[in-house]
Structure 1
Amino acid sequence: MDQQVGIWRLHTDGAARGNPGPAGIGVVLIDPRGQVAERVARFIGTATNNVAEYTALITGLQRALEHGARRLEVYSDSELMVRQLNGQYRVKNDGLKPLYRQVLDLVARFDAVRFVHVPRERNKDADRLANQGIDDAGER
């Protein structure tokens, strides 16, 4: 299967210990054959959980584009973010508005993107990576 034509899967998660507090992001990008193309665990400094969620998504979208993905299904356990991106909720928080616009700009570069809310249990790898990003920062 041509990787650019098939559907890629992206699992993202953001975590903050405290709100705001030390925050990390987790990203798992899976190619159309079901192989993990990339995993990201990164500390992003002090942020709210919602900022971490959006930052993880932005990172995942950027990585998917760099891998040549054209069609993407995005899985997140952030019900707020998924509903905002699906047009069910408005983005009212001024701190999230620029991140939301950045997501829309990235989404426009794909042929198709679908956002799906999943329970935390179905997003364990991304959750683990987000927490690993925070933990790794504490070891510096």
Structure 2
Amino acid sequence: MLKLYTDAATKGNTGIGGVGVLIVNDHDQVQLHLPLPAMTNHEAEFHAALAGFDYLLAHQLNTGLVSYATDSKLVLDALDKRYAKHYPALLAALLERTDQFPNLITQWVPDRVNQGAHQLAQQGLREAEQQ
């Protein structure tokens, strides 16, 4: 089973940010970190999820069993309900991607379980601060 973990970090609630994506497949890992322009933490969490699913789709890793874990209750609830009052465009973009995963399991995880993606998001934030 392939495991996807995502997280975001922002400087304040509406500051620059970073995205962290950790993909674990058997004994292999892919680590991604990207800077983000100024946005809310919730928007950054959606962008983290988008980055993760974009990577999987670009590498055709959507056919097997995929477990997606995030510490963002907002993103997970939006995916489960297929509704996000304040972020309809971001949710639509995310659903466009997740709908291409026939065997997707989503789960909320506490921060301590998401440390790999969190550290990568911090790296993305540091990159954003240097731009």
What TM-score comes out, normalization by structure 1 length?
0.86
Q: 1:133 Cα shift?
A: 0.7
Alignment partners' CA distance in 1, 2:76 and 2:37: 23
Task: Show the 5 A alignment for 1:28-39.
Answer: 28-31=22-25, 33-36=26-29, 38-39=30-31
Q: 1:73-120 deviations in whole A, cap 9, x for unaligned?
A: 110000121112111x84110xx2111001111112122211100000
Alignment of 1:69-108 (within 5 A): 69=61, 70=63, 71-87=65-81, 90-93=83-86, 96-108=87-99
The structure with the greater share of residues assigned to helix is: 2
Match of 1:18 in 2: 12
The one of the two structures with greater contact order (alpha-carbon pairs below 8 A, sep at least 6) is 2
From 54, 57, 62, give the equivalent of 2:46.
54
User: Tell me, which stretches of 5 or more residues in structure 2 are unaligned?
Assistant: none
Picking from 26, 43, 53, the partner of 2:35 is 43
Q: What is the count of residue pairs matched by the alignment?
A: 129
State the one-letter code of the partner of 2:107.
Answer: V
Larger radius of gyration: 1
**Residue 68 of structure 1, aligned match among 55, 60, 69:** 60
| 2:123 pairs with 1:132 | yes
Q: Does 1:114 align with 2:105?
A: yes
Shift of 1:72: 1.2
Taking only the aligned residue pairs, the percentage that are identical comes to 27
Give 4+ residue runs of structure 1 displaced > 4 Å after superposition: none
Shift of 1:139: 2.8
Question: Normalising by the residue count of structure 2, what TM-score does the alignment of the two structures yield?
Answer: 0.91
Shift of 1:136: 1.8
Quote the RMSD (CA, aligned, Å).
1.4
Q: Is there any run of 5+ residues in structure 1 with no aligned partner, and where?
A: 1-6
Opposite residue 23 of structure 2, the aligned amino acid is L
